[in-house]
Structure 1
Amino acid sequence: MLGGNSRNRTHTRHTRGGTTTACAAVVTATAVLLGPTAAPASADPIPDYRPEQWGLQSVEAQELWEETRGQGVTVALPGVSVNEEHPDLVDNVRLDTRFGANDGDVGAGNATAALVAAHGHGMDADAGVLGAAPEASLLVLPTGDRMAEAVRFAVEEDAQVVLLPETDGSTDLTGATQDAVNSGVLVVGPAGGREDPNVLTVAGTDEEGALVPGSPDAEEIELTAPGADLVTAGPDLGQTEVTGAPYAAALVAGVAALVRSEHPQLRPDQVRAALVQGSRTGPDDLPALYAPHAEGEAVGTAQDTPLLDEDLLDARERAGAVPVWAWFAAVGAVLVLGALLVVLWIRRSTADPYGVKAERQEEDERIAAERAAEAPPASRRKKGGRRRRTRGK
């Protein structure tokens, strides 16, 4: 079950009605009755919990935000339930209940979703909590025993990252996760579940850098990330603190979304390698998530990786390759057609398509005929007229 080893501490806050509205009404009434001298000192009615988000600061995800905040990337969360109206999550969540009702542990689901892609709230989003990729999209797929179907559906919906929940290990998802990786999707999950080589397994650490209690053996852990006392979205409209491997995996999924947004040409294994190799030394010499170094690794890999998937192009060519001579013939035909079109355009531009020249010629001939008819006849000598004498006679 997701978040089975988490500790929750909810901070009381009401954004709609409740104590905040009541206090505001009392303050307003007092100001009206007693005048400006009775006005209390200014206070922020919506707490800003971001300074308490030590996990986000520890991995330094904000260092990547000048380049990307995860826009264009979808992170799928199969097997969880969320309150899509939470002010820190609203508009970032797409909820699809075809595999199960949204009636699970909303507290754990909200906490996980917010660590990935919470965007804060309030004026200029200056309150609430933030996730590692605040502009990424979340595809939430509540389900019980249809987890494999939900994972495959996430792939069909063009998710670039799939974040698995904590399970009891009874369900074998190897086939679905292999299909996801083959389709270009990075799969992230909490360490300690059923062994699956397709999943980047993550364990949680506390602020002192030690593994959280209940973490699995080191050989089951591929990457560590902050996973203790993390301030995130709560089950209602407030915030809470959680501890557990699923929440550490959520931070990794958020940083993975940043990398995928900035370098969409990278394959899942390349993003996975960037996250692990671009890490810092953590507990028991395990790698610890560090976003700036992961981005540096991704930049180096992306320089040698074209935006087009060459393997996919090769597969398409093998399936139905077009001979080289056919390409040359097609290019030649295009050039010939282009030359013909140019000739036709020149001829048409120099021709008289509207008959203007013919009409003018006809008009000129008519005017000439009228003038000829109006002109007097030429003079001729009359018979018997005077003749010029010849000299000498």
Structure 2
Amino acid sequence: MSFTRTLRAVGGAVVAGALLFGTAPVASADQIRNEQWPLQMFNADSIWKISTGKGVTVAVLDSPVDGNHADLAGSVLPGKNFITGSGPADQGTGDDADHGTAMASIIAGHGHGAGGADGVKGLAPDAKILPVAVPGASGQPSAGGDGFSQALRYAVDNGAKVVNMSFGTQKSSPSPEEQQAIDYARKHDVLLVAASGNDGSSAPSVPASVPGVLAVGAADNHGYVWQKSDYGPNVKLVAPGVNIRSASSIVDVHGKYRLANGTSDSTAYVSAAAALLRAKFPDLTAGQIANRLIKTASLPADQQGTSLPDQHYGYGSINPLSALTKDVPAGSKDGPFPAVGGGSSGPSSDPSSAAGDNSGNLTIQSHKGLSAPFIILMLVVVVVLLVIVVVVVMVVKKKNRRNGPPPGGFGGPGGPGGFMPYQQQPPYQQQPGAPGSYPQGPPTQPPGQ
């Protein structure tokens, strides 16, 4: 089965021209690196002091990858080509390998030249790429005819801990084979990341709309959702996807590089962030990695108050440095996903909360109600205290009647020293808006417009 819609990084169009940013680029000997604004926004130099993704394999289900590109050489495993049905997928060239090469470079490019200062550098530069050429991802027919199911199973069986799927088909549900492959990956603790789509549509797309898959939308360098980013209840996160510089298997005026828009690119950045976390926190499950990304996500300042998850922003834009450094409770093993085979999808519930980034953006908190045993215990304590108060009052009154002066005299009723019980204080009430409540109300402006 060939895909009816491949989510290429620009929806079929590559953006030409120079980038215009609100901040000056960092000093670099190479213009290509200067144009990688997500690395500057994420503070990648600080990230790489903590994690580089070393030891983590990211499968790129896509077109073949040009593993001989100067920025990828040595980082790409042979993989397998499910378009032809045999052979490796790391020797792609020309148009047929352009998209896969771009995604691989965003994830694990290492640059080239002195100190790797030239060319494209990925967010997880020490991760390994397992290229798995998917039927339909490069516009070619499938040899096996079963979508991405065989390719996904191959990725799982060959050590991938994160699978990047920057493609999709507009349909309401996966085929039985595709669903079984997704379940197989989840049972093997593999994090699946997929692009939401580039049509500005709410129509469901597979695999992004399948429960258990981390669906990603695209945002610009100010954190606002790209107008062509697909939306819906399945979207969990957004990431950089506008004016994205990446490696290419096609030579242009800049060499083998391209400049593009799309949820494909944003998906690759989320996969790279997941690789950083899997290297830093090897004991966390795939669901707990997703939970950490969600609980450290943020919104633009004027989108504060948006009810979460929002159909355009999900839980917000990824903050990889915060995800690596914040104190985030691990939560349940499934994280924001339903258990394999069913259930509801939402951020993992924990008694503690995780703040957003240090810009004062989104804070996501969880909430649990009081348990029945705790309520019963509190009632028992209150009853005991009331009994003690009554006993004390009775004893004092009896003593005053026996030893006190005549009524109306010193110490009598209403006189100086007469006994007056303390005023009972109202029970503690949690105020609306206290920690544990999600902000309510629609966004101040329609997201993504």
TM-score (norm: length of structure 2): 0.56
Structure 1 residue 8 and structure 2 residue 26: aligned? no
SS at match of 2:273: helix
- Is residue 288 of structure 1 aligned with residue 302 of structure 2? no
Q: Does the aligned pair in 1 maintain the 2:62–2:99 contact within 8 Å?
A: no
Alpha-carbon distance, 1:203 to partner:
0.4
Residues 53-95 of structure 1, C-alpha deviations (whole Å, 9 max, x = no match): 1122223343221122111000001232221111011111113
From 228, 239, 243, give the equivalent of 1:214: 228
Q: Aligned equivalents of 1:113 and 1:96: distance in 2?
A: 13
Q: Is the 8 A contact 2:166 2:268 kept in 1?
A: no
Q: 1:180 to 1:298 in 2, by over 3 A?
A: farther
Are the structure 2 counterparts of residues 244 and 105 from structure 1 closer, same or farther at C-alpha, using a change threshold of 3 Å? farther
Aligned pairs for 1:174-189 (under 5 A) are 174-189=179-194
Among 112, 115, 119, the residue aligned to 1:124: 115
State the one-letter code of the partner of 2:288.
Answer: Q
Q: Which amino acid aligns with 1:262?
A: K
**Structure 2 residue matching 1:265: 3-state secondary structure:** coil
Quick one: which amino acid aligns to residue 113 of structure 1? A
CA-to-aligned-CA distance 1:167-197 (integer Å, 9 cap, x gap): 2235533221121111011000111422201
- State the distance in 1 between where 2:212 and 2:44 align: 24
Task: Kindly indicate whether residue 290 of structure 2 is the aligned counterpart of residue 258 of structure 1.
Answer: no
Paired residue for 1:243? 261
From the CA coordinates, give the structure whose radius of gyration is larger: 1
Partner Cα distance (1:58, 1:109) in 2: 24
Question: Which aligned pairs between 1:105-254 and structure 2 lie closer than 5 A?
Answer: 105-144=96-135, 145=142, 146-169=147-170, 172=175, 173-192=178-197, 193-194=205-206, 195-236=209-250, 238-254=256-272
SS of residue paired to 2:230: coil
Q: CA deviation at 1:143?
A: 2.4
Instruction: From the superposition, tell whether residues 116 and 274 of structure 1 become closer, same or farther in structure 2 (CA, over 3 Å).
Output: same
Q: Which contiguous aligned blocks of 4+ residues in structure 1 show a shift greater than 6 angstroms?
A: none
Greater share of residues in helix:
1
Tell me how many residue pairs correspond in the alignment. Answer: 273
What is the distance in 2 between the residues matched to 1:298 and 1:148? 36
Mapped to 2, the partners of 1:174 and 1:58 lie a distance apart of: 36
| Cα separation, 2, equivalents of 1:221 and 1:178 | 19
Q: State how 1:346-357 maps to structure 2 within 5 Å.
A: none
Tell me the alpha carbon deviations over residues 135-178 of structure 1, each in whole angstroms, 9 at most, x when there is no partner. 10000011204411111111111111001121223553322112
Alignment partners' CA distance in 2, 1:184 and 1:93 = 22
SS in 2 for 1:288: coil
| 1:91 partnered with 2:105 | no
- Answer 1 or 2: higher relative contact order, Cα 8 Å, separation at least 6: 1
* 8 Å contact kept, 1:88–1:120: yes
Asked whether the 8 Å contact 2:64–2:81 carries over to 1, the reply is no
- TM-superposed CA distance for 1:276, in Å, is 0.8
- The code of the aligned residue for 2:212 comes to N
**How far 1:289 moved relative to its partner?**
0.6
1:67 to 31, 34, 50: 50
Which letter does structure 2 place at the counterpart of 1:130? K
Whole-angstrom CA distance in 2 between matches of 1:257 and 1:271: 9
For residues 327 and 167 of structure 2, what CA distance do their matches in structure 1 show?
28
2:61 to 65, 71, 78: 78
Report how far residue 295 of structure 1 moved: 1.5
Aligned CA RMSD, in angstroms, stands at 2.8
Does residue 58 of structure 1 match 2:63? no
d(CA) in 2 for partners of 1:234, 1:9: 14
- What secondary structure, in the 3-state scheme, does the structure 2 residue paired with 1:280 have? coil
Distance 2:270 2:224 in 1: 17
Q: Give the Å deviation of 1:47.
A: 3.2
SS in 2 for 1:105: helix
Whether the aligned pair in 2 keeps the contact of 1:131 and 1:254 (CA below 8 Å) is: yes
In 1: Cα distance, 2:117 partner to 2:229 partner: 35
Which is worse superposed, 265-274 or 276-285? Answer: 276-285
- In the alignment, structure 2 segments of 5+ residues that lack a partner are 1-5, 18-28, 85-91, 136-141, 198-204, 334-449
CA distance in 2, matches of 1:269, 1:298: 17
Q: Which amino acid in structure 2 is aligned with residue 106 of structure 1?
A: A
CA contact (8 A) 1:259 1:298 kept: no
Alignment identity in percent? 28
Offset of 1:2 from its aligned partner?
A: 3.6
Cα distance change of structure 1 residues 155 and 58 upon mapping to structure 2, 3 Å threshold: same
2:350 alignment counterpart: none
Task: Give the deviation of 1:49 after TM superposition.
Answer: 1.8
The answer for unaligned runs of 5 or more in structure 1 is 12-45, 306-393
